Amino acid sequence: MEYADVSDYLRDLGEGARQIAKRHRNPSAELIHLAEAIVRLTERDPQPLLADMRPKIDAELATLPWSGPTAEPDLSEDLQNFIMFALMARDITELPQIAEQVRRTLVFTNDVPIQAFAGTDALPFDGHAAIRDLNAEVLGQDAAVELVVNRLMMTRRGMDEQPSRPDGVFLFAGPTGTGKTQLAKAVSRSLFGHEKLIRYDMSEMSEAHTVARMLGSPPGYMGSDSRDNWITTRLEAAPHSVLLLDEIEKAHPSVWTTFLPAFDEGHISDSQGTRASPSNTVIIMTSNAGARAYSDSLPDGQAPDPNAQMAKAQQTLRELMPPEFLNRIDELVFFQPLSQEVIRSIAEHRLDDAIDDLAKHDLEIYRDQSIVDFLVDEGFSQECGARELLRTLERNVRGKAAWLEPGRYKLVARNDSLEYEPL
């Protein structure tokens, strides 16, 4: 929708927030007050809001109960940022994009699977935009991104055979440092407008009894009353989310089997009989199992065969995990080792991000291509993927910048390190 006037946009926004607060079964106090505050603003000043209204906007936002027993941290942080940006918009042409950001936050921060704005039940999923954005964020894994987006396009449009199942069940496998966890986070942001993860470190569940950490102990046993970290509790609180099971291969096999009903029928029950549905959830598991297939040495002059490497990695997973578990996974997604060319692109992007961050601390940093060369030379590791590169960057760029006084500097490569020279 095109808005000719900021007040029209705010009026629609306020009405949308009112609808959600009215129709959501457990509307938060923050959401109700948000709707009221936005409507008060439009009623008091119907003219387009300009930057000189900042004190009035601050005063209105200060009336919102952002803290206290009913506060929701994600809601307060995201809505304050988005609403302030929306209210302070100078360029009318930006309003449709701002409206979409606010709508994403309102709907998914509060887990409202209802008709919210423009008669939609859920946010439209633009597959082409998702592929573009995910490839820009997770470099060198185009095939993995395409597999994930293909599945999500089908489920988000309601074309899958079993809508009660999760929107996707994926196993991301491959060498460490290749972007598996990063892609899971990026998928969450692509779907929900912000990072919304329910995350479990499966390396902490290597014994059979540790399943109680996710589903609770039988009644009468220690831990049966500690429900906050149970998967049923967390899914009830955030049914629209990405459930990330990190390093799944390190969990005990009995822990794996607890997920079979979730993968197959779209429900999971805890020790108290409470059932939760992950039907609006994307489940992503990560694993380094099979990584050796990508690092085994080859005869001199022989180039690696990606298909042979993938087949070897698949065989490793089949030997490790039972078929009833693997058969319930929608996509086995294999991540390729990062080439030196990809590492160079990552170094360029992350270095520029670091320089932008340092500018917020009154540090104006200049660099040339030699800095990227240094980071690649020092940080490229086939075994560690991008992790060694990021450690090298943090140690040499961000770490040394922490000692600088505000000013202008040139980053130079000298011997085995990077140094800052004042300008």
pLDDT for residue 247? 93
> What is the rounded average pLDDT of the residues 181-204?
88
> What is the rounded average pLDDT of the residues 8-12?
54
pLDDT for residue 69? 34
pLDDT in tens, 198-217: 999 999 999 888 888 888 87
At CA 17, angle to CA 122 and CA 90, rounded to 5? 100
pLDDT in tens, 58-85: 554 455 443 333 334 444 444 444 455 4
How would residue 298 be classed by pLDDT, with cut points 50, 70 and 90? very low
Highest mean pLDDT: which range of 122-131, 214-223, 392-401: 392-401
pLDDT for residue 14? 54
pLDDT for residue 325? 92
Six-digit token pair at 92?
Answer: 């009318």
Report CA 289 to chain centroid distance, whole Å: 23
Task: Indicate if the pLDDT at residue 1 is higher than 50.
Answer: no
pLDDT for residue 293? 63
Alpha-carbon gap, residue 285 to 273, rounded angstroms: 25
Of 97, 93, 146, 156, the residue nearest 126 (C-alpha): 156
Would you say 123 and 107 are in contact if contact means Cβ atoms under 8 Å apart?
Answer: yes
How would residue 114 be classed by pLDDT, with cut points 50, 70 and 90? very low
pTM, 2 dp: 0.70
The pLDDT > 90 percentage for the chain reads 35
- Name the residue with higher pLDDT: 301 or 364: 364
How would residue 304 be classed by pLDDT, with cut points 50, 70 and 90? low
Task: Indicate if the pLDDT at residue 368 is higher than 80.
Answer: yes
Task: Indicate if the pLDDT at residue 53 is higher than 90.
Answer: no
Cα torsion at 121, 195, 144, 382 (round to 10°)? 180
Contacts of 100 (CB under 8 A, 6+ apart): none
Q: What integer best gives the mean pLDDT of the chain? A: 75
How would residue 221 be classed by pLDDT, with cut points 50, 70 and 90? low
> What is the rounded average pLDDT of the residues 241-245?
93
Task: Indicate if the pLDDT at residue 45 is higher than 70.
Answer: no
Task: Indicate if the pLDDT at residue 184 is higher than 80.
Answer: yes
DSSP character string of 119-185: T-SS----HHHHHHHHHHHSTT-HHHHHHHHHHHHHHHTT-SS-TTS-SEEEEEESSTTSSHHHHHH
Of 210, 242, 241, 214, the residue nearest 227 (C-alpha): 214
Report CA 414 to chain centroid distance, whole Å: 37
From 3.40.50.300, 3.20.20.150, 3.60.70.12, 3.40.640.10, which CATH number describes the 127-334 domain?
A: 3.40.50.300
Domain 340-422 is in which class?
mainly alpha
Cα torsion at 150, 153, 156, 158 (round to 10°)? -100
Taking the domains of the chain in order of start, what are their residue ranges? 6-109, 127-334, 340-422
The pLDDT > 70 percentage for the chain reads 64
3 state SS of 393: helix
Task: Indicate if the pLDDT at residue 380 is higher than 60.
Answer: yes
Task: Indicate if the pLDDT at residue 115 is higher than 60.
Answer: no
